[in-house]
Amino acid sequence: MLKCPECSAVLDVDEDEVEEGELMSCPECEVELEVVQVNPVHINVISDETEAEDEKEESEEDFDEDKGEKKEEKEKAEDEEEE
């Protein structure tokens, strides 16, 4: 018997037929779940926070690159002023 790690609702899943990496959702709290182990079956919540953190890291990398480009442009402009 599998239970949702988020709300403890009983999940109607045949433990003999699930595969590692399989995605499902809880019928009660609608959280997305991933099968991370099959013997015994273990599931984890796929959190929106994790996805949001990944997106935030990507946007920070883009921001840093933009900042670096702006810094280079500023240095270039300063060099031209000195001449």
Mean pLDDT of the chain: 79
Q: Is the pLDDT of residue 20 over 80?
A: yes
Average pLDDT on 8-25 reads 92
Q: Is 1 helix (H, G, I), strand (E, B) or coil?
A: coil
AA letter at 68: G
Burial class (CB in 10 A: 0-12, 13-18, 19+), 55: exposed
pTM here?
A: 0.54
Burial class (CB in 10 A: 0-12, 13-18, 19+), 18: middle
Write out pLDDT tens, residues 41-80: 999 999 765 555 656 666 666 655 555 555 566 677 777 7
Name the pLDDT band for 37 (thresholds 50, 70, 90): very high
Average pLDDT on 3-21 reads 92
